[in-house]
Amino acid sequence: MSVLNKSNPAGLTLLVLAATLLGIGANLLDTKTSSQPHVILFVIDDQGYSDIGYQKKDFASLSPALDAAAHDGIKLTSYYTQEQCTPARASLLTGKYPSSVGMQVKTPDLTEPWGVPLQYTMLPEVLKYMGYKTHAVGKWHLGFSKLGYLPEYRGFDFFAGYYSRKEDYYDHTATTRTGHYYNDLHEGMSNNYDISSYSADIYSLKVHQILEEHDNTEPLFLYYSNQLMHAPLELPPDHYFSDEDLETLTYDIDSDDNAFTDGGRTAVAKMLRATDRVFEKMVESLKSKGMYDDSIIIVMSDNGGCPYYSGYNVPLRGHKNTVYEGGVRVNAFIHSPLLPKSVLGEYPHLFHISDIFPTILEGFLGYAPEALGTASAKFLDGMDQFPALLDSSLSGPRTELLHNVKVESYAVDSDNSNYTHLFPTVGLRTSIGGRSLKLVHGHGSGMGQTYAIGDSMVVGIDTEMNLCEDLSMYELGDFEDVWSYIYSPASQVFDIDGDMEEVYNLAEEVADAVMDELWQRADHYWDVSAPSALAYGDNSAFQVFADNHYYLCPWQEMSDEDWAAVEGRGPAEGVMWTPVERTATVHF
């Protein structure tokens, strides 16, 4: 059980004790400040591996601010996330693998009543106990069917953004998978009626306001979760671009063709340029407020790019929604004036998104070892990367990481009553005999292509699978046998250190003992995984949304158990929506 679990009061006592032992001077950061540093997580949505300037592909000149910050920081060249946004964000904010918190399967639709289970504590809640002011701006997508799932009940003092997987950049409507449209723009515990501005404008202005109004004597945690560069491919306003940009990026997007066309790729290029501008604006605001020198900024994509929306992961195989490298290996870097110049450059060691939680708490914030002891290894899947980040003579703490372990089911009947098409997935990387081997199982042939500019996007999903109506079989027998029974494709094994493109399948070449060891590790993660929190659509949400001026909002009652889980976390019990008129148009 997590020492930070809300059901464990002793864990909270330990947390308070640990908070009293913080001290920047105790770690290897330059001692430029005696206070706790400001921490900013800048998350880019659906940015492909090559969708940034410093990868020197077709976007080489389009992200100068991000490129400069990466150059003057630490590039995490073996950084791994999850294959979808909800599992990735759950892992980032809990420090756990998605399968450890029940968030390993799919992403919640607008009327699906599930989110990160309330018993799990998130990073902002921990930082809040330490005296941080905590803010979230942009995309949430970790549940909103109950009040307890909202950001304000997960440790954030303030939230401005949207709850769903994606929304229109201009009118801020989100769409259910069944085609229903609802407004999805919120500020605090209220609807936001500003529907005339590009969303990046709104969020950039809100971040600027947060920084301007912040008391510099208090540490700040900002979770800046960009809508950019996720679909729909809606072009940013011209004020994001220089005259040279506008001359270079001249193609218009054809909304009926989002594949690798000049129009689609040009739209992504413009969205990257806008992403770079809002990052630059944030850094400028930090500097003007006198906060930059005491800030740690961590930049990352939440998952790989979507080739069907012109995302570009070359040379990596696969894309978002797969556990091939193109779905889970993304760009990330740490930028901070607090970092010694001697450590700037590339960090080649395995780094998982869950590692950010302990690296911030134990490393950058200077947890005394006697405060946590070995607790972090018990309640987090993430590992503290800080010592190796600051000392190149050390190896990274990871020799293994789990990409995911899950079984998904999809509706066969149009009324969503029969879920018998099953899609199992496993992705695991571990060190065996000095080789960094990766096991992939459950992906059809069409899910593992490498798409380059000029390719047409035709996804050929392997539909040869067995059907199984008895879902209880998941609890029976050996993991490999169960999955082989459900789904036909054979396992794939890659040596990532020598084949990051995943071209050479070694499954028939590695020794049986090696394959057995890979599956034993997969069995382990299956055995310790939490039940999926996934719940299918609840039609009672529609009327509640309609009553709330067709804005998304919580629609299910909190149980006594739910209230007990969030006790002390959020606003007063029973607080609901307070519609606030907002009509001002904002510009970057």
Tell me the percentage of the chain whose pLDDT exceeds 70: 76
Give the model confidence (pLDDT) of 139-166 as tens digits: 999 999 999 999 999 999 999 999 999 9
Rounded Cα gap, residues 227 and 222, in angstroms: 15
Higher pLDDT, 403 or 569: 403
Q: What are the beta bridge partners of residue 80? A: 329, 352
Is residue 85 flagged as an active site residue? yes
Q: Reply yes or no on whether the pLDDT at 264 is more than 70.
A: yes
Long-range contact list for 254-258, CB < 8 A, 24+ apart? 258/231, 258/233, 258/308, 258/309, 258/310, 258/457
Q: What is the CA radius of gyration of the chain?
A: 23
What's the mean pLDDT in 122-150?
94
Which residue in the list 38, 141, 403, 441 is annotated as catalytic? 141
446 neighbors 460 (Cβ within 8 angstroms): yes
Neighbours of 396 (CB within 10 A): 17
Band (189; pLDDT cuts 50, 70, 90): confident
Rounded Cα gap, residues 24 and 22, in angstroms: 7
pLDDT of residue 424: 67
Band (96; pLDDT cuts 50, 70, 90): very high
Higher pLDDT, 471 or 75: 75
Which residue in the list 38, 85, 208, 468 is annotated as catalytic? 85
Rounded Cα gap, residues 269 and 280, in angstroms: 17
Neighbours of 181 (CB within 10 A): 14
245-274 CB burial, b ≥16 within 10 A, e <16: beeebeeebeeeebbbbebbbbbbbbbbbb
Hey, is 405 helix, strand or coil? strand
Q: Reply yes or no on whether the pLDDT at 10 is more than 70.
A: no
Report the amino acid identity of residue 288. Answer: S
Residue 401 tokens read as 């990481």
Q: How many CA atoms lie within 13 A of 390 on its CB side?
A: 15
pLDDT of residue 426: 83
pLDDT of residue 65: 97
Is residue 349 flagged as an active site residue? no
pLDDT of residue 132: 95
Higher pLDDT, 35 or 42: 42
Band (364; pLDDT cuts 50, 70, 90): confident
pLDDT of residue 533: 93
204 neighbors 239 (Cβ within 8 angstroms): no
Report the amino acid identity of residue 242. Answer: S
Band (362; pLDDT cuts 50, 70, 90): confident
Q: Please, is 332 exposed, middle or buried when counting C-beta atoms within 10 Å of its C-beta (0-12, 13-18, 19+)?
A: buried
354 neighbors 101 (Cβ within 8 angstroms): no
Q: Reply yes or no on whether the pLDDT at 393 is more than 80.
A: yes
Band (407; pLDDT cuts 50, 70, 90): confident
Q: Which range (20-24, 180-184, 227-231, 339-343) has the least confidence?
A: 20-24
Q: Reply yes or no on whether the pLDDT at 39 is more than 90.
A: yes
Give the contacts of 172 (CB within 8 A, at least 6 positions apart): 162, 183, 184, 185, 192, 195, 199
570 neighbors 184 (Cβ within 8 angstroms): no
pLDDT of residue 449: 53
Give the model confidence (pLDDT) of 425-441 as tens digits: 788 889 877 788 999 98
pLDDT of residue 305: 94
